[in-house]
Amino acid sequence: MRAPRSLRARLLLAGALGAVAGGVLAAVLLGAAFERAAERALDRRLADDIALLAGLAYADPQGRVRLRREPVEERFTRVFSGWYWQIGDGAAALRSRSLWDVALSVPKPAAQPLTGQVTGPRGQPLRFRAQALRLPGTAAATTFLVAADATPLRAEVGDFRLLAGLAVAALIGAMLLILFTQVMWGLRPLRELQRRLERLRHGEPERFEPAALPAEIAPLAAQINALLDAHARQVARAREAAQDLAHGLKTPLAVLSAAVERPGPDLAAEVATQVARLRGHIEHHLASSRPVGIGTRTELRPVVDALWAVLRAAHAGRSLVLDVDLPQPYAFAGAREDLEELLGNLLDNACKWARTRIAVSAQRSGGRLRLCIDDDGPGLTDAAAGAVLARGVRLDETAPGSGLGLAIVHRIALGYGGSLTLGRAPLGGLRAILDLPATPD
């Protein structure tokens, strides 16, 4: 059986099956309990009748069992009334008038009383109780037997089971109604969540308030809010990148247009230079506008090791030492390409300005990572640290590069809801601090 896709249908189906199964089980158990109680009550009455017969019985001088008087109740005197008693076996057995000339044949009881069912004079089922008693003056034990028609008992049990079934059916119906109300009421916050998402899809600004939702749904609302924030940052990041790209392409295109209007021997070189600038702008903005990786996990140490292997080869003529303090489980909640772009630019910048030492360390607090890249270079003043985060700003024109690295890092970090801050390192040079989302171990 294939499970329904609707959560409401699943809850209702599971609840209905549980209610029906529990109700049927309760009805069966109630019927069995009533039947057992009725049989015990009838057995006690049969035992009382045997005790009455035993009190009236005695042994004559010849050792035969006699009764001082027969029970005078109508149930024993009316022929085939359904109530019968019998003392002894065979032709010499004493019988109630209700038996007329019919003898009941039951197994001979042992030391304990025997209870069971036997067929009556008219073929009706009888419930009997037999007990072997030895009277004074007799050589052997005598069987005392009392039987009653079981048909009324079965009718009472059937009526009770019918009544119990109707009561349980009514109870199941009430339970299903309560279950339906409970499911509809319990799923109302999800329907409200659906309506808000529908309004959001149609362009209406929506935010979810986790505090106003049930505790089980509040984390989902918080995650949706986080996803909406990430999407908004990604859209803003792509829009800014497109605007910057358009702005950055204006100058090379204007230079190319002017060069075409006045051709000369330097035209090919000028075109190659401007094409290289165009290619650089395009590659930069393609990298900085890459979608933020959501739901991905990138460990820090392997990325740092791979980047350092490349940078050490690029700066092979210098004696640079890298100190790494990155606990192995620490991981960035984002794409590996973005982490490589972030750390690659910062480590490359540190290699350019460091004298001999570079340090990379990380701390995690809650769901955030604090990455520090330090060097022992000249460092920056507070004013200069704020200025270099602007696109294309270079404080030293003699150093290689385009001045875009820190701006790219700053933009990617913002895309993840993080930040890049610059300050003074314990080594004496520049400290770049990245605040990024972390993943659990």
pLDDT tens by residue, the chain, 441 residues: 565 678 888 888 888 999 999 999 999 999 999 999 999 999 999 999 999 998 999 988 888 888 989 888 899 989 999 999 999 887 778 989 999 888 888 888 877 899 999 998 888 999 999 999 888 888 888 899 999 999 999 999 999 999 999 999 999 999 999 999 988 888 888 888 788 778 777 767 667 777 777 777 778 878 877 777 777 777 777 777 677 666 666 666 766 676 677 676 767 776 777 677 667 666 656 655 555 555 578 899 999 998 888 888 888 788 889 999 988 788 998 888 888 888 988 998 899 889 999 999 999 888 899 999 999 988 877 766 666 665 444 444 334 443 456 777 888 888 788 899 988 889 888 999 999 998 876
Amino acid in position 280: G
What is the pLDDT at residue 336? 86
Q: Is 64 helix (H, G, I), strand (E, B) or coil?
A: coil
Full strand arrangement of the beta sheet holding 430-437 = 321-325, 357-365, 368-375, 430-437, 419-424
CA distance 22 to 176: 12
Cβ atoms of 438 and 369 within 8 Å: the answer is yes
Q: What are the tokens at 36?
A: 């057992």
What is the pLDDT at residue 417? 83
CA distance 283 to 95: 116
308: CB partners within 8 A, 6+ apart:
322, 347
b/e sequence 224-246, b meaning 16+ C-beta within 10 Å:
beeebebeeebeebbebbeebbe
**Dihedral, CA of residue 29, residue 32, residue 33 and residue 38, to nearest 10:** 160
50: CB partners within 8 A, 6+ apart:
113, 129, 131, 144, 146
DSSP string, 70-121: ----HHHHSTT-SEEEEESSGGG-EE-GGGTT-----PPP-SS-EEEEEE-T
Q: What is the CA radius of gyration of the chain?
A: 49
Task: Give the torsion sign (CA, 217, 218, 221, 223).
Answer: negative
Phi, psi of 373 (to 5 degrees): -120, 110
**Please, what is the Cα angle at 230 between 227 and 231, to 5 degrees?**
85
CA distance 62 to 195: 100
Residue position matching structure tokens 């009383």: 113
CA distance 371 to 360: 7
CA distance 96 to 86: 6
Please report, for residues 135, 308, 432, the alpha-carbon distance to residue 369 in angstroms, rounded to integers and kept in the order given.
98, 20, 13
What is the pLDDT at residue 161? 93
What is the pLDDT at residue 27? 92
- DSSP class of 437: E
CA distance 186 to 182: 6
Helix spans in 85-217 (H) = 151-186, 188-201
Q: Is 345 helix (H, G, I), strand (E, B) or coil?
A: helix
Please report, for residues 223, 294, 300, 303, the alpha-carbon distance to residue 332 in angstroms, rounded to integers and kept in the order given.
18, 11, 7, 11
Task: Give the torsion sign (CA, 72, 78, 79, 82).
Answer: negative
**Whole-model pTM above 0.75?**
no
Provide the greatest CA pair distance for the chain.
Answer: 158
Cβ atoms of 331 and 362 within 8 Å: the answer is no
Environment class of 359 (CB within 10 Å of its CB; exposed 0-12, middle 13-18, buried 19+): buried
What is the pLDDT at residue 72? 85
Residue position matching structure tokens 């984390």: 219
Q: What are the tokens at 50?
A: 């045997």
Of 117, 116, 119, whose CA–CA distance to 102 is shortest? 119
